[in-house]
């Protein structure tokens, strides 16, 4: 539903930005923020560190630019469904505030990735799957 390519660029340790290239889709990417895993590795110490955090936290703000409600089923990153990232322990957690986006409404997707796919400078390909068609458009 939205097909966006980004490359994460870390700046000043805890701040980040991404350059976005989007086609005209019902959802517009307004802002992408990236926080590298250095914060978690400094501030959170776990006794059993089975999956060391080599990634970072991505915040993706998006807005519905149409006059119709957009229903999001799930997201895909680098051609893998969100469930693959979760089940393979490649992300700690993810959340979006609402799957139903009203006309003009802005929402956010947060992904806390521990894999190297979420490192600064790594390109990634994000897709939203439409709940009505179960396809990207």
Q: What is the mean pLDDT of each run of 10 residues along the chain (137 residues)?
A: 42 38 69 81 65 84 92 91 93 91 95 89 86 76
**What is the pLDDT at residue 49?**
65
**What is the pLDDT at residue 91?**
92
Q: Residue 38: enclosing H or E segment and its boundaries?
A: helix 38-43
Cα–Cα dist 74/20, whole Å: 20
**What is the pLDDT at residue 100?**
94
* Partners of 6 in beta bridges: 20, 124
Q: Global pTM?
A: 0.75
**What is the pLDDT at residue 95?**
94
DSSP helix/strand/coil, 42: helix
Q: Residue 76 is encoded by which pair of tokens?
A: 């895909």
Cα–Cα dist 26/89, whole Å: 31
**What is the pLDDT at residue 40?**
63
Cα–Cα dist 127/120, whole Å: 20
* Partners of 27 in beta bridges: 64
């Amino acid at each position: 539903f939205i097909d966006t390519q980004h490359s994460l660029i870390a700046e000043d340790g805890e701040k980040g930005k991404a350059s976005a290239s989007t086609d005209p889709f019902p959802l517009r990417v307004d802002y992408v923020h990236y926080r590298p895993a250095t914060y978690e590795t400094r501030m959170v110490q776990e006794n059993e560190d089975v999956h060391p955090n080599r990634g970072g936290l991505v915040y993706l703000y998006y807005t519905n630019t149409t006059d119709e409600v957009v229903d999001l089923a799930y997201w895909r990153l680098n051609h893998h469904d969100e469930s693959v990232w979760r089940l393979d322990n490649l992300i700690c957690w993810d959340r979006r505030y609402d799957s139903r986006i009203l006309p003009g409404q802005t929402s956010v997707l947060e992904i806390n990735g521990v894999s190297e796919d979420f490192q600064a400078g790594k390109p990634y390909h994000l897709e939203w799957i439409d709940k009505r068609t179960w396809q990207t458009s």
